[in-house]
Amino acid sequence: MPRRARDFDVRLSDVNVFLAVRSHGSVTAAARLLDSSPSHVSKAIDRLERQLATKLLTRTGRGVTLTPAALKLAPLLTDAADALRKARKRGDEPRDVTVAAPSYLLNAYVPLLAEAMAAMRLRALQLSPPAIAASMGSGEFEVAFSPGSPRLPPAWSSSIVGELGIGLFAQPALAKKLQKPTEEALRKQPFITPVQYKNGKWEPVDDGCPLPVGERLAGHEAPAIGLALEIAAHTPQLAFGPRIAARSFLQQKRLAEIHVPGWRVASPLYLAVDIDRITARERGTLIEIATKLSG
């Protein structure tokens, strides 16, 4: 039965994968070029074969060879990929790219990306990590920074670009008073509670602190770490969150970190990109900038 037009959904990323395999003669070599995995490359080829209803590769002991049908299609796919890339550039006009991340990561990364990537006109989209994971594949954004590994749609790729250290912060006088405190001592101090509005009410959020929310003395509430740190700078309450969010507070000596014996909390920081809309070169630049800052 002929494929209906509305079912025809060839991805530019899959075409690029096929062309990389064609150029390098093996799935493994193409994976290295694309900074991907052989299984990802194989899945992309399988998907393209289904969409084109054509067998493209024959696997041999020394790699892969193109089928006769693939040899005929390769020039057409090359021209189509080039045309789409040219159309996406829209001449010399900066290309709109939306970066999704929690607010503290947007504040840290977007200014540096804007400075380094003049061909992009960046739009910052503030989203929590759960919202980023839920929205991937929606087309709302092309780039995302997220603590913890997001579940990726097929056209996305992610890389670890650093580690987010997470600490406990307070006004300098309070931090000095609480040098190397026990958890029992911390239970007597009010914590600013992270919250979210859900199902018609405010609920506390698990922020990964070794002292769970239910065991803390409840202080003020804040839906974002930036606000929690600002409140902590004005009141004798504790805030738990990423060090990168507290960087300016620490530099200005408005807050100090409290080092709790036995506490070492950290999360890998992931950079995820939509490889249908972000080129390999752009992705490399994004990774380089993000890794330098994280380091």
**Which fold is adopted by the domain 165-264?**
D-Maltodextrin-Binding Protein; domain 2 (3.40.190)
**Contact (CB, 8 A) for 147 and 129:** yes
Residue 241 reports pLDDT greater than 60 = yes
Rounded CA separation 291/289 (Å): 6
Q: What does the CA dihedral 61, 63, 65, 66 come to, rounded to 10 degrees? A: 140
Rounded CA separation 138/147 (Å): 20
Mean pLDDT of 49-58: 87
Reduced DSSP (H G I as helix, E B as strand, rest coil) percent helix, strand, coil of the chain, to 5: 45, 25, 30
**Contact (CB, 8 A) for 45 and 17:** yes
Q: 86: pLDDT confidence band, cut at 50, 70 and 90? A: low
The pLDDT value recorded for residue 1 is: 41
Residue 11 reports pLDDT greater than 90 = no
Q: 3: pLDDT confidence band, cut at 50, 70 and 90? A: very low
The listed range with the strongest mean pLDDT (131-135, 198-202, 212-216, 228-232) is 228-232
Mean pLDDT of 143-157: 85
Handedness of CA 102, 105, 107, 113 (dihedral sign): negative
Mean pLDDT of 140-153: 87
The pLDDT value recorded for residue 51 is: 85
Residue among 54, 45, 13 nearest 26 (CA) = 45
H/E element, 143: strand 143-147
Give tens-digit pLDDT for 100-125: 999 999 998 999 899 888 888 899 99
Neighbours of 45 (CB within 10 A): 19
Mark 205-233 as b/e (b = at least 16 C-beta within 10 Å).
bebebebebeebeebbebebbbbbbbbbb
48 three-class SS: helix
The pLDDT value recorded for residue 119 is: 81
Rounded CA separation 67/58 (Å): 6
* Mean pLDDT, the chain, whole residue set: 86
**Contact (CB, 8 A) for 43 and 156:** no
Domains 5-89 and 165-264 share a fold: no
What CATH superfamily classification does 95-162+267-294 receive?
Periplasmic binding protein-like II (3.40.190.10)
Neighbours of 99 (CB within 10 A): 24
The pLDDT value recorded for residue 21 is: 84
Q: How many Å is the maximal CA-CA distance in the chain?
A: 77
Is this prediction's pTM over 0.75?
no
Locate the domains of the chain by residue range.
Answer: 5-89, 95-162+267-294, 165-264
The pLDDT value recorded for residue 27 is: 85
The pLDDT value recorded for residue 117 is: 85
Backbone dihedral angles phi then psi of residue 288, each to the nearest 5 degrees: -60, -45
Least confident of 55-59, 86-90, 284-288: 86-90
Residue 5 reports pLDDT greater than 50 = no
The pLDDT value recorded for residue 85 is: 67
Residue 210 reports pLDDT greater than 90 = yes
Q: 270: pLDDT confidence band, cut at 50, 70 and 90? A: very high
Q: What CATH class is the domain 5-89?
A: mainly alpha
Mean pLDDT of 42-60: 86
The pLDDT value recorded for residue 261 is: 94
